[in-house]
Amino acid sequence: MQAFNPYMPSWEYVPDGEPHVFGDRVYVYGSHDRFNGYVFCMGDYVCYSAPVDNLADWRYEGVIYGRTDDPLNSSGFACLYAPDVTQGPDGRYYLYYVLDKFGCVSVAVCDEPAGRYQFYGYVHDSQGRKLGDREGDEPQFDPGVLTEGDVTYMYTGFAGFDDKSRHGSMMTVLDKDMLTILEEPVYVVPSRPYAQGSGFEGHEFFEASSIRKFGDTYYFVYSSIVMHELCYATSKHPGKDFVFGGVIVSNADMHIDTYKPANKPMYYGANNHGGLEKIGDDYYIFYHRHTNGTVFSRQGMAEKVQILPDGSIPQVEMTSCGLNGGPLKGEGYYPAYIACNLFHDKESLYGGGAGGNHFWADSALPRITQDGRDGDEEQGFIMNMEESATCGFKYFDFQGVKEIGIEIRGYCHGRIQVKTAWDGPVLAEIPLESYNIWHEFRTPVAIPDGVHALYFTYRGPGAASLKGFTLYC
Map the chain to HEC letters.
CCCCCCCCCCCCCCCCCEEEEECCEEEEECCCCCCCCCCCCCCCEEEEEEECCCCCCCEEEEEEECCCCCHHHCCCCCCECCCEEEECCCCCEEEEECECCCCCCEEEEECCCCCCCEEEEECECCCCCECCCCCCCCCCCCCEEEEECCEEEEEECCCCCCCCCCCEEEEEEECCCCCEEEEEEEEEEECHHHCCCCCCCCCCEEEEEEEEEECCEEEEEEEECCCCEEEEEEECECCECCEEEEEEEECCCCCCCCCCCCCCCCCCCCCCCCCEEEECCEEEEEEEEECCCCCCCEEEEEEEECCCCCCCCCCCCCCCCCCCCCCEECCEEEEHHHCCEEECCCCCCCCCCCCCCCCCCCCCCCEEECCCCCCCCCCCEEEEECCCCEEEEEEEEECCCCEEEEEEEECECCEEEEECCCCCCCCEEEECCCEEEEEEEEEECCCCCEEEEEEEEEECCECEEEEEEEEEC
pLDDT range class, residue 363, cuts 50, 70, 90 = low
Partnered with residue 439 across adjacent β-strands are 408
Q: Which of 337, 301, 340, 322 lies closest to 454, judged by CA? A: 340
CB within 8 Å of 127: residues ≥ 6 apart: none
Question: What is the tally of structural domains in the chain?
Answer: 2
Residue 7 lies in a domain: no
| Average pLDDT of the residues of the chain | 96
What does the pLDDT look like over 133-161, one tens digit per residue? 999 999 999 999 999 999 999 999 999 98
What does the pLDDT look like over 431-471, one tens digit per residue? 999 999 999 999 999 999 999 999 999 999 999 999 999 99
Rounded Cα gap, residues 40 and 34, in angstroms: 8
- The residue count of the chain comes to 473
Over pLDDT 90: what percentage of the chain?
95
Q: In Å, how far from its chain's centre is CA 350?
A: 16
Q: Are residues 79 and 96 in the same domain?
A: yes
Residue 8 lies in a domain: no
Q: Are residues 66 and 186 in the same domain?
A: yes
Q: Are residues 390 and 304 in the same domain?
A: no
Is 257 among the catalytic positions?
no
Partnered with residue 469 across adjacent β-strands are 334, 406
What does the pLDDT look like over 176-211, one tens digit per residue? 999 999 999 999 999 999 999 999 999 999 999 999
- Active-site annotation holder among 16, 138, 229, 253: 16
Choose one of 307, 326, 345: the last residue of a domain: 326
What does the pLDDT look like over 413-430, one tens digit per residue? 999 999 999 999 999 999
Query: At 398, which CATH number?
Result: 2.60.120.260
Residue 458 lies in a domain: yes
Partnered with residue 430 across adjacent β-strands are 416
Asked if residue 218 lies in contact with residue 234, where contact means CB atoms within 8 angstroms, the answer is yes
Choose one of 291, 307, 326: the last residue of a domain: 326
What does the pLDDT look like over 263-313, one tens digit per residue? 999 999 999 999 999 999 999 999 999 999 989 999 999 999 999 999 999
Q: Are residues 338 and 320 in the same domain?
A: no
| Cis peptide upstream of residue 6 (ω within 30 degrees of 0) | yes
Over pLDDT 70: what percentage of the chain?
97
What does the pLDDT look like over 216-273, one tens digit per residue? 999 999 999 999 999 999 999 999 999 999 999 999 999 999 999 999 999 999 999 9
Q: Which of 194, 97, 180, 101 lies closest to 143, judged by CA? A: 97
Q: Which of 349, 277, 286 lies closest to 307, judged by CA? A: 277
Q: Are residues 289 and 416 in the same domain?
A: no
Choose one of 265, 293, 326: the last residue of a domain: 326
Residue 2 lies in a domain: no
Residue 49 lies in a domain: yes
Asked if residue 108 lies in contact with residue 119, where contact means CB atoms within 8 angstroms, the answer is yes
Residue 82 lies in a domain: yes
Q: Which of 27, 4, 13 lies closest to 374, judged by CA? A: 13
- Active-site annotation holder among 84, 207, 229, 253: 207
Is 184 among the catalytic positions?
no
Residue 411 lies in a domain: yes
Q: Are residues 390 and 457 in the same domain?
A: yes
Q: Are residues 259 and 375 in the same domain?
A: no
Q: Are residues 425 and 350 in the same domain?
A: yes
Q: Are residues 292 and 370 in the same domain?
A: no
| Domain coverage including residue 456 | 332-472
Q: Cα-flanking dihedrals φ and ψ of residue 193, to 5°?
A: -65, -15
Query: At 173, which CATH number?
Result: 2.115.10.20
CB neighbour class for 429 (10 Å; exposed up to 12, middle 13-18, buried from 19): middle
**Positive or negative, the Cα torsion across 330, 298, 267, 54?**
negative
What b/e string do you get for 236-248 counting C-beta neighbours within 10 Å, with b at 16 or more? eebbeebebbebb
